[in-house]
Amino acid sequence: MTTNISLQERRLAAVPRGLPTMLPIFATRAEGSELWDAEGKRYIDFGSGIAVVGTGHRHPRVLEAVRAQLDAFSHVCVQITPYEPYIALAERLNARMPGGVPAKSIFFTSGAEAVENAVKIARAATGRPAIIAFNGAFHGRTMMTMALTGKVAPYKIGFAPLPGEVFHIPYPSLYHGIAAEQSLDALDQLFKSDVDPARVAAILIEPVQGEGGFNPAPFEFLNKLRSICDEKGILLIADEVQTGFGRTGRLFAIEHSGVVPDLVCMAKSLGGGFPISGVLGKAAIMDAPVPGGLGGTYGGSPMGCAAGLAVLDVIEEEGLLARADAIGSIITDRFRRLGNSLPVIGDVRGLGAMTAVELVTDRDARTPAGELTRKLVHECAAAGLIILSCGVHGNVIRFLPPLTISDALLGEGLDILEATLRKLAA
């Protein structure tokens, strides 16, 4: 019999250590909000493949669309002989551009590719080289996106030198003592001491910081950034790779603030489990690169485009934006109540179904409980629940269940998490 242990031994022998796995659990089947491992054990999935299957594992509409496309053709390369699903997906997304401004879209394969190409587009449109990002940000593992990522370990260790003309400022987080005014002051100081704003092509921000701890950016802060960008001729790029496609209760998280970005980076839940990413942006800006300056052999694959169209249908027809709000309320209400009896719960926060619980050893000092969080992830898995951690100190539990999860499965998973946390905190 194939076991998790035997597969783990094979993985260690065949795969480099630079690609770690969080759990020694090998998936063999998944459906909806559940998955099963090599030994037949069932798990409730609160991770969704890191926010990828927002419509759930193997959603019937997504599978039907991909099968139909596969029966037609699997690959021809859009740069050689284009195909209708690519155009149709671009049209659907262009119509959903925040602010309703004229827009265009281009598709790639991974979130990092989307960010890389957003930088290229911004530089082509402005004629400027510099990019400003935020401490704690995660934008990818390619060379440019590593430079943009605001965390050294483990992402940057051993890979220097990284691309230049990248600058970082603090991301606002009241729980961690960083007010929006402090971030704006840091930006002003950056302009005075490190980079002339006339050299800055774009400011890149996650409307809800993902890997950094699920910190929502204050809406007034996003609006102030928009004003600064307009004043100084800088583009504003929203990295919606993790926040997009209904996760926060809007198609894009930036919509909550009323801010209209110049470019939007997309990936993860766009494909419902199939690889596709993209950049959506104001039409004039998107047209700045010369013909041939953008593209990629597999970018916007036929199956990815078909899946993306089906995902948009599911979001609309199943009311997943409202469902995200309902899921988020269930989770945050429960953990705020639990905080009355569990002092290890330092903060409960989020936007829609992109919610998080920060664990601490001392609530007053807000001391990160990294070891407790690590144990919680592993013991929940042993009890049949997949959860993910995040945060600069690894002490935040992030909730990313499929937006199609039933109340019954959501409640079952929360029961496992609460029981495990109570046991470890005792």
CB 397 within 8 A of CB 385: no
Residue 86: how many other CB atoms lie within 10 Å? 21
pLDDT at 1: 75
| CA atoms 122, 124, 128, 131: torsion sign | positive
Q: What percent of the chain is predicted at pLDDT more than 70? A: 100
Average pLDDT over residues 167-191: 97
| CA atoms 192, 193, 197, 202: torsion sign | negative
What are the tens digits of pLDDT across the range 328-355? 999 999 999 999 999 999 999 999 999 9
Average pLDDT over residues 412-425: 97
Strand pairing category for 42-45 and 354-362? unpaired
With H, G, I as helix, E, B as strand and everything else as coil, classify residue 337: helix
CB 142 within 8 A of CB 116: yes
pLDDT at 342: 95
φ/ψ (deg, to 5) at 105: -135, 150
With H, G, I as helix, E, B as strand and everything else as coil, classify residue 75: coil
Strand pairing category for 34-37 and 27-31? antiparallel
pTM of the model: 0.96
The pair of structure tokens assigned to 316 is 């609309």
What span, in angstroms and rounded, lies between the C-alpha atoms of 356 and 98? Answer: 26
pLDDT(263) > 90: yes
pLDDT at 258: 98
Kindly report the average pLDDT of the chain as a whole number: 97
Burial class of 412 by CB neighbour count within 10 A (0 to 12, 13 to 18, 19+): middle
pLDDT at 426: 83
| Residue 248's pLDDT band (cuts 50, 70, 90) | very high
Angle at 404 (CA atoms; ends 412, 389), nearest 5 degrees: 60
| Residue 218's pLDDT band (cuts 50, 70, 90) | very high
Q: What percent of the chain is predicted at pLDDT more than 90? A: 99
pLDDT at 47: 97
What are the tens digits of pLDDT across the range 125-140? 999 999 999 999 999 9
What span, in angstroms and rounded, lies between the C-alpha atoms of 243 and 266? Answer: 9
* Selection from 94, 125, 87, 358 nearest residue 236 by Cα: 125
> 423: which residues sit within 8 A by CB, 6+ positions away?
379
pLDDT at 235: 98
Beta bridge pairs of residue 239: 265
| Residue 282's pLDDT band (cuts 50, 70, 90) | very high
Domains and CATH numbers, the chain: 4-55+319-425 (3.90.1150.10), 60-317 (3.40.640.10)
What are the tens digits of pLDDT across the range 26-56? 999 999 999 999 999 999 999 999 999 999 9
pLDDT(64) > 80: yes
Residue 229 Cα to chain centre, angstroms: 23
What span, in angstroms and rounded, lies between the C-alpha atoms of 124 and 233? Answer: 13
pLDDT at 4: 95
* Selection from 235, 305, 243 nearest residue 274 by Cα: 305
Average pLDDT over residues 138-154: 95
CB 207 within 8 A of CB 222: yes
